[in-house]
A and B are shown apart, each in its own frame.
Chain A
Amino acid sequence: MSTRQAAQSCLAANDWICGEYLRTRAQELTDATIEHVWITAVSVLIGLAVAFPLALLARARPAFAGPVLGLTTLLYTIPSLAMFSLLLPVFGLSAALVVTGLVLYSLTILVRNIMAGLAAVPAEAREAARGMGYGPGRLLWEVELPLALPAVMAGLRMATVSTIALTTVGALIGKGGLGDLIDDGVQTTFKAQVLTASVLCVLLAAAADLLLLGAQRLLTPWSRIRRAGGAI
C-alpha cells in the first residue's frame, strides 16, 4: 500500500492520528474551538465581574468574609455534572446553563486570590497614598489593584485553565465546545476525533495560560524592573 493510499484510508482504519480527518473536518473543529473559547471567555469575565465586588465586600465587612469564602468553597465541592443538571430546570438546554455553572466554579479561585492580593498590599503604600490625599476609589484603582495584580492574575490563570477543562462537561447538554466532539467521538468510537479534540483542549489551556502570563508582564512593568534591579 502506498503512503498516499494509507493517508486516505486512515479514516476508514480509525487511526488515532489522521491527517485526512483534520482536512475534511477542519470547519467542524474550528467551530467547536470557537464555541469553546467564547464559553470560557464569557464565563471567566462574568466570574471576574462577580468576584471583585464579593472580595471587596468581604474586605470591607469582615463579617461577610467567612460566609463568602464558605459559600464559594461549597459550590466548588458540587460535581460539575450535578451542577449543570441542577441548573437545567432554570435555564433549559442553553449555553447560559454551562456559562452559569462555570461562573460559579470560577468564583472560588477568583474571590480567594483577589482577597489575598488586596490583603498583601503593604500598609505603608496605603498610608502614603492617603497622605497624598487619595480618596478610597482612587486608592483602590491606582494603588491597591496594581499591587494586588500578581495575585489576581495568578487566580485568573488558574480559573481560566480549569474553566477550559470543565467546559468539556457541557457536552452533557450539547454545549461543550470541543467536549461535544469528544462526546460524539466516544459514541461512534471515532479515535481521531476524540484525540484531536482532547489535544486541542489542552493546547487551548496552555495558550490561554501563556497569554495571561504575557498580559501580566505588560501590566506590571515595575516588577520586571525590580527583579532586574535586584539581580544587580
Chain B
Amino acid sequence: MGVMADAWTWLTTGSNWSGEGGAWHRLGEHMYVSGAALGIACAIALPLALWLGHIGKGGALAVNVSNAGRAIPVFAVLALFMLTPLRTAGYAPTVIALVLFAVPPLLTNAYVGMREVDRAVVEAARGMGMSGGQVFRQVELPLAYPLLMTGIRSAAVQVVATATIASMVGQGGLGRIITAGFNTFDTAQVVAGALLAAGLALLVEGALAAADRLLDPARRAARTAGRGSAAMPRARAAA
C-alpha cells in the first residue's frame, strides 16, 4: 500500500499541520462549526421535544421531521445557501445547514424517550400529588434520559461527519484537506485528510459513548445503591 505510506508521510510532516490551510486550523474550524451547530440544534430541538412529550402531543411531527430530514441532501442545502447572501457570512451556511440536520434525530429521540416512560409510573407520581413540573423533572426526565442521550450522541456524530461536506462548497473544516488534495491530484493528501476526518468522527463517537456510561442516572443510582428518588430510575432499568 504505497498510498497509505504516502498518506502517513503527509500526516507526519509538520508543515502540513501549520498555517492558514494547515490541519490544525482545519480541525479548529471543524470543531467550532460542529460545536456551534450542535449547541444551537439542542437549544431548539430539546425544549420543544421534551415539552411535546410531556403534554403527549405532536408525535406525527416528530416522526415526519425525521423522515424528511433523511431525504434532503446536505450538499444541496449547502449549495443553495452558498448562492444566497449567506455566502459572505463566514461559517454561517455550514452552521445553519448542520443545525437543520441535527434537529430531526434530537427531536425524535427526545420525544420518543418521553413517550416511552411507563404511564403507570407517571400516574403513580401524579397520584402522590406531584405537580406537572415535578413529574417532568423527577420522573419523566430521568427515565427518558437514556434515549435523550442516544439522540444527542447520534446527532453529534452525524454533525461531525457531515461537516466535512462543507468543503465541497468551499467552506472550512477538515474536508478542505480532502478537496484541496483532489484539486492538486495529490492522492496521499486526499487519503490523509480522509483518515483525519474519519478518525475525528470515530473519536467523538467513542468519547460520547464513554461519557454516556459515566453520566447515566440509572448507572449512577446503581453505584450509590438506591437512595430516595434515585431508586426510581434504577427500578426502570431493571424492568
Interface residues of A (CB under 8 A from B): 74, 77-83, 85-86, 88-89, 158, 161-162, 164-166, 168-169, 171-173, 179, 182-183, 185-186, 189, 191, 194-195, 197-198, 201-202, 205-206, 209
Query: Which of B14-22, B51-59, B119-127, B157-165 is the contact stretch?
Result: B157-165
Interface residues of B (CB under 8 A from A): 1, 3-4, 67, 70-77, 79-80, 82-83, 157, 160-165, 167-170, 175, 178-179, 181-182, 187, 190-191, 193-195, 197-198, 201-202, 205
| Chain A residues near B160 (CB-CB < 8 A) | 79
Distance in angstroms between the alpha carbons of A206 and B64 in the assembled complex? 12
Whether A186 pairs with B82 at a CB distance below 8 angstroms is: yes
B186 smallest CB distance to A (angstroms): 11
Report the bound CA distance from A205 to B3 in whole Å: 36
User: How far is A205 from B69 in the complex, measured between Cα atoms in Å?
Assistant: 11
Known: A164-B71, A168-B75, A198-B76. A85 touches B168 (CB 8 A): no
Within the assembled complex, what's the spacing in Å between the Cα atoms of A195 and B82? Answer: 12
Which residues of B are found within 8 Å of A169, using beta-carbon distances? 73, 75, 165, 168
CA separation between A185 and B157, bound complex, in Å?
A: 29
Tell me how many residue pairs across A and B have CB atoms closer than 8 Å: 128
Please give, as numbers and ranges, the residues of chain B lying within 8 Å of A168 by CB-CB distance: 73, 75-76
Nearest CB in chain B to that of A203: its residue? B71
A209 neighbours in B (Cβ, 8 Å): 71
Q: Is the beta-carbon distance between B191 and A197 smaller than 8 angstroms?
A: no
A158-B70, A172-B179 are contacts. A82–B197 as well, Cβ < 8 Å?
yes
What CA separation (Å) do A201 and B70 show in the bound complex? 12
A77 to B165, CA, bound (A): 14
A168 to B: closest C-beta gap in Å: 4
Q: Which residue of A lies closest to B71 (CB)?
A: A205
Q: Which of B77, B79, B195 has the most CB of A within 10 A?
A: B79
Q: Determine whether the beta carbon of B79 is less than 8 Å from that of A86.
A: no
Q: List chain B residues, Cβ under 8 A from A85.
A: 178, 181, 190-191, 193-194
Distance between Cα atoms of A50 and B187 in the complex (Å): 29
Asked if A201 contacts B198 (CB within 8 A), the reply is no
Contacts of A88 in B (CB 8 A): 187, 190-191
Residue of A nearest to B193 (CB): A85
Smallest CB separation, A90 vs chain B (Å): 9
Known contacts A81-B167, A85-B194, A89-B3, A202 near B71 by CB under 8 Å: yes
Contact A81:B202 (CB < 8 A) given known A166-B73, A179-B75, A197-B76: no
Whole-angstrom CA separation of A201 from B167 in the bound complex? 20
User: Is the CB–CB distance between B83 and A165 below 8 Å?
Assistant: no
Contact B194 A81 (CB under 8 A): yes
Closest chain B residue to A189, Cβ basis: B83
Q: Could you say which residues of chain B place their CB within 8 Å of the CB of A173? A: 182
Q: How far is the CA of A198 from the CA of B77 in the complex (A)?
A: 8
CA distance A198 to B83 in the complex (A): 13
Cα distance A209–B70 when bound, in Å? 11
* Residue contact B197 to A202, C-beta cutoff 8 Å: no
Please give, as numbers and ranges, the residues of chain B lying within 8 Å of A83 by CB-CB distance: 194, 198
Which of chain B's residues have a CB closer than 8 A to the CB of A164?
71, 73
